Amino acid sequence: MAYCPKCGVELDSYIKNCPLCEFPIPDIGEDDAAELEGKGTHKYPNAISTYRRDYRVIKNKIFFSFVLVVISSIIILAVLKLVYPVSALLSNYVIIIIIAALFYLFFLFSYLKPAYNVIGILLTTIFLTYAIDYQVGDIGWSYTYALPIVGILYFDITIFRALYKVSKHRNQFIYVPSVCLLFISILCVGIDAVISTNIGGRIHLSWSIIVLICCGVIIFTLLSIYHGLPDKSKAWLKRKLHV
């Protein structure tokens, strides 16, 4: 059976153009096919996956379209500030959020290495919280709440990436949820510590202890059940869950 050299979809032998991507299918007769196969040559060329290239093109189009929207919005808001000075504060908030959204989109589209994208997102969050706090006129919560939570989040993501690299080659339907639950529990403990420190002046964990205990019990149960199963049961689970 023929297939499209561009997208790899299987086709009937009489089709001239791929119905999915309109790529022309090579017209090779049966005699030519027998001759090629006798020489050890395939009847059709190797399929070429263009997914990554097409994805990159679409991603760039979306990003640069958003850049044009951001530039246009900033110009419009600047004109509004000049014509209606009363709206200056609101315009500043909108401009800050739009600029931060542009940086978020840049890092979420993975134009840099994963570690740099994570750092970029966290730095953008610091900029966003500080800029909003600065517009209020009294810089406070961006230092006492936002900055510590961003630091905890970076520490938590670092642990998550390290554990994921270690366990990604193991059974993912057990280890990945376990690592995610550990990530959530550490983040909740950090947020609870920041809030209690700012309110009461010292670390006093409350609701995060419940989250930590529940996540710990679930992680322990998952790992215990999985490692206690016989090999046949593990193979059956992998086959049924397609993992």
Report pLDDT digits (tens) over 110-132. 899 989 999 999 999 999 999 99
How large is the average pLDDT for residues 25-41? 54
Tell me the percentage of the chain whose pLDDT exceeds 70: 80
157 Cβ contact list (under 8 Å, min separation 6): 118, 183
The whole-number pLDDT of residue 29 equals 54
The whole-number pLDDT of residue 167 equals 73
Q: How confident is the model at residue 179 (pLDDT cuts 50, 70, 90)?
A: confident
The whole-number pLDDT of residue 130 equals 92
Quick: pLDDT tens for 8-29: 777 777 777 887 777 787 765 5
DSSP assigned state of 24: B
By the 8 A CB rule, do 36 and 43 touch? yes
Cβ-count burial of 185 within 10 angstroms (0-12 exposed, 13-18 middle, 19+ buried)? buried
Exposed e or buried b for every residue in 151-178, given b needs 16+ CB within 10 A?
ebbeebbeebeebeeeeeeeeeebbbeb
Hey, which bits of 190-242 come out as E strands?
Answer: none
d(C-alpha 226, C-alpha 176), whole Å: 13
How large is the average pLDDT for residues 212-229? 84
Q: How confident is the model at residue 40 (pLDDT cuts 50, 70, 90)?
A: very low
Inform me whether the pLDDT recorded for 100 exceeds 90. yes
How large is the average pLDDT for residues 133-141? 81
Inform me whether the pLDDT recorded for 36 exceeds 70. no
The whole-number pLDDT of residue 135 equals 86
Quick: pLDDT tens for 185-213: 999 999 999 999 999 889 999 999 999 99
H/E element, 231: helix 231-241
Residue predicted with more confidence, 239 or 194: 194
What pTM did the predictor assign? 0.69
Of the candidates 35, 42, 37, the residue with the CA atom closest to the CA atom of residue 2: 42
